[in-house]
Structure 1
Amino acid sequence: MSTPTDAVPHGLQAIPTDTVNLADYARHAQARMDTGAWAYLQGGAGDELTLDANVRAWQDLQLLPRVLRRTAGGHTRSQLFGRTLAHPLILAPVAYQQLAHPEGEMDTALAAAAQEAGFVLSTQASTRLEDIGDAVAADDLRGPLWMQLYLQPDRAFTKALVHRAEAAGFDAIVLTVDAPTSGVRDRERRAGFRLPPGISAVNLSGMAPPPAREVPPENGHGSALFDELLHHAPTWDDVAWLRAQTRRPILLKGVLHPDDARQALSLGVDGLIVSNHGGRTLDTVLPTARALPRIADAVGSDMPLLVDGGIRRGTDVLKALALGARAVLIGRPCVHALATAGALGVAHCIRLLRDELEVAMALTGCATLADIHRDIIDTP
């Protein structure tokens, strides 16, 4: 089992000795972070009901273990898009990670590579995608390296961004589809959050603002959202357009409805991430633990599924795999670890979760990920 060490290499931050799980990192991160930055990175939409429900839904699922099964020699390896994963843990895209630590996404990416975890870089990262690619793309032992994409109003810029990611060594494109507009984030507004000087979405630098739309008075409704912004929001036609721009695997992130999963499959999308944006866009939407099995039933084995939202324990990872996910994405906990102890904290966070998953597998009689099925979850 992984424990913090007192022997910290020069230049690395020490992990607090009382840090034994992901919740401990949240506590330490809040004490270290600026109030506004904490509100931005930790908060959710509205009353934060979905934010809380994401965590609770995994906790509410009860395991039904099998005993006396041979698990010696087991492992957590699997295959995804032609790549061997040492374990099913991938770091989710989180914007502006320099709010949590000066090295931001670079420390997170290096820690992920060191722990053989996947890493997804946000379009709104505060670190250049080329710098991330130079640092980790050539590492033979790293996990998947993916680029998250928000389709921009300037499709030529979007195309160039995708090609930049390809050239930098990113393995897949993750298109976020559940945020045509930002959610109503009360906590963030109360804190008066603004990006501090020196932190920006550097990979969008140079993009021209969308041209203003001329809306005749008789056609307008006095809504900046409906009359202007949503005219640039992506549709299924844009998914087909993106499919034509790249040969890399494309995953859609933010799918909760089975019908949307089926449509994605029909358009040649390679994978889905069952996600509600960590409760940051639409409040009271169902938690991902409840959405996942419905999506799995809709697409069967025809499309790899991943899931994020509220995963805090190795038992949560086990439950996600039992409900049909091939891998899970971890967002806030790794940012908490980044804020607490930089790259060392993120690496420790990943190791803690992997250790917990292995223990959960052993105690439910599962030697490999292929042994994990829905029947290890009790269904009343």
Structure 2
Amino acid sequence: MLEGEPPEFPVAYEDLEERAREELDEKAFAYVAGGAGAESTVEANDRAFDAWQIVPRILRDVSDRDLSVELFGSELSAPVLLAPIGVQGILHDEAELAVARAANAVGVPMISSSVSSYTMEEIADELETTGWFQLYWSADRDVAASFLERAEDAGFEAIVVTLDTPKMGWRERDIELAYLPFLEGQGIRNYFEDDAFCDRLETDDPWADPEASLESFIDCFGDASLTWDDLSFLREHTDLPIVLKGVLHPDDASRAVEHGVDGLIVSNHGGRQVDGAIPALEALPEIAEAVGDDVPVLFDSGIRRGSDAIRAIALGADAVLLGRPYAYGLGIGGEDGVEAVLRNFLADLDLTVGLSGRASVDELDRSTIRRAER
């Protein structure tokens, strides 16, 4: 790596973001980088990590390190998954296909979004590493059931149900730019090529009347009427593990376990839904304590470096989701950009685990960190 030639892609997250700002279309960058309202939750997610400090230990054999973890019967080489990010076509023409190839090269699992720029089947065909499918629970139950069936048939190994987005958040950057990618035909392939969705339309070809088709998509995208009783619908339509994303309260976590879900993702959607929401990292310890070893707890929202992953795992996460960093890598370098981001992140994680005096992910616990003095 350090052979006299500077890396092709930025290493620091801040430099990645700045390069993306320079190279991406203004609307595309704002859509990825932006958050809800004044974006205080985005900033709070970042600050939350500063409240915890790693306590390195010495004279421990860390010559060999094991970052592997097991989730739902699959062994992962590291406790890292690619978070579901929609409409990746606004960042690069090859979108999720480029991300899938980069994930294959590095061996990191990918979570594919409902609002992807390629269909879930096309992404699954490209994906050789572990793949999960993220479901935006449609208000049209036939569409939701169809997505679940298609994801299972395509070979995805788990269903991630995002529950913090029954409606889109108040995102001021997008409003000021009058931009919603769906209205430009981005992120709708899974819908427009779905039999159940097409049954909602007056024509068999959604592209024959795109305005009417997009209106139907907007109408059925999310379901604000969902309650705990509706979780049984998911189990009726898939045998895959069900992971709920968007959990921020320990009571919700406990109730989810009571309803038989298989995993949880502590997340505030990267600060994109509720301005002023609790930082996801602040919610993590109570949720991990509430569910204990009953189900895996994953963490999303604010992971930028290996040290962030270590702190989240020490606070109770079994694995973390990486989001904006790889999106910026995609935007500035396609497959190569994503692969560079992932290799840098994993190298940072491996090195920092060892330098903290731990030889495996299993050794990362509350003794690894302490609260920073204020």
TM-score, structure 1 normalization: 0.87
Map residues 184-195 of structure 1 onto 2, 5 A cutoff.
184-195=170-181
d(CA) in 2 for partners of 1:277 and 1:357?
23
d(CA) in 1 for partners of 2:86 and 2:31?
10
Deviation at 1:200, TM superposition (A): 3.4
Given residue 340 of structure 2, which amino acid in structure 1 is its aligned partner? H
Deviation at 1:198, TM superposition (A): 5.0
Deviation at 1:244, TM superposition (A): 2.0
Deviations 1:36-92 (A, max 9, x none): 111111100010000111111113311111111111122211111100100011111
Given residue 324 of structure 1, which amino acid in structure 2 is its aligned partner? G
Map residues 278-357 of structure 1 onto 2, 5 A cutoff.
278-357=270-349
Question: Aligned-pair RMSD on alpha carbons?
Answer: 2.2
| Counterpart among 84, 92, 99 of residue 93 in structure 1 | 84
**Residue 69 of structure 2 contacts residue 79 of structure 2 at CA under 8 Å; is this kept in 1?**
yes
Matching residue of 1:84: 75
Deviation at 1:22, TM superposition (A): 2.5
**Residue 306 of structure 1 contacts residue 328 of structure 1 at CA under 8 Å; is this kept in 2?**
yes
Matched, 1:28 2:19: yes
Number of residue pairs matched by the alignment: 350
Given residue 169 of structure 2, which amino acid in structure 1 is its aligned partner? G
Given residue 92 of structure 1, which amino acid in structure 2 is its aligned partner? A
Matching residue of 2:63: 72
**Residue 4 of structure 1 contacts residue 348 of structure 1 at CA under 8 Å; is this kept in 2?**
no
Runs of 4+ residues over 3 Å off in structure 1: 1-6, 208-211, 228-233
**Residue 139 of structure 2 contacts residue 221 of structure 2 at CA under 8 Å; is this kept in 1?**
no
d(CA) in 1 for partners of 2:188 and 2:105?
25
Map residues 195-274 of structure 1 onto 2, 5 A cutoff.
195=181, 197=184, 199-205=186-192, 206=194, 207=197, 232-274=224-266
Given residue 174 of structure 1, which amino acid in structure 2 is its aligned partner? V
Greater share of helix residues, 1 or 2?
A: 2
Matching residue of 1:40: 31
Deviation at 1:199, TM superposition (A): 2.5
Deviations 1:97-120 (A, max 9, x none): 010011111111111121111111
**Residue 39 of structure 1 contacts residue 193 of structure 1 at CA under 8 Å; is this kept in 2?**
no
Deviation at 1:192, TM superposition (A): 1.7
Deviation at 1:320, TM superposition (A): 0.8
- Structure 1's 233 and 371: CA in aligned 2 closer, same or farther, altered over 3 A? same
What is the percent sequence identity of the aligned residues? 41
**Residue 321 of structure 1 contacts residue 373 of structure 1 at CA under 8 Å; is this kept in 2?**
yes
Matching residue of 1:217: none
**Residue 314 of structure 1 contacts residue 353 of structure 1 at CA under 8 Å; is this kept in 2?**
yes
Deviation at 1:16, TM superposition (A): 3.1
Deviation at 1:94, TM superposition (A): 0.7
**Residue 321 of structure 1 contacts residue 372 of structure 1 at CA under 8 Å; is this kept in 2?**
yes
Given residue 291 of structure 1, which amino acid in structure 2 is its aligned partner? A
| Counterpart among 168, 185, 188 of residue 182 in structure 1 | 168
Given residue 149 of structure 1, which amino acid in structure 2 is its aligned partner? L
Matching residue of 1:216: none
Matched, 1:118 2:105: no
Matched, 1:159 2:145: yes
Given residue 148 of structure 1, which amino acid in structure 2 is its aligned partner? Q
**Residue 137 of structure 2 contacts residue 222 of structure 2 at CA under 8 Å; is this kept in 1?**
no
**Residue 57 of structure 2 contacts residue 357 of structure 2 at CA under 8 Å; is this kept in 1?**
yes
Given residue 187 of structure 1, which amino acid in structure 2 is its aligned partner? R
Deviations 1:270-296 (A, max 9, x none): 000000011111111111111100100
**Residue 110 of structure 2 contacts residue 132 of structure 2 at CA under 8 Å; is this kept in 1?**
yes
**3-state SS of paired residue (2:264):** strand
d(CA) in 2 for partners of 1:126 and 1:241?
27
Point out where structure 1 has 5 or more consecutive residues left out of the alignment. 7-14, 212-227
Given residue 97 of structure 2, which amino acid in structure 1 is its aligned partner? M
TM-score, structure 2 normalization: 0.89
Point out where structure 2 has 5 or more consecutive residues left out of the alignment. 202-219
d(CA) in 1 for partners of 2:116 and 2:292?
33
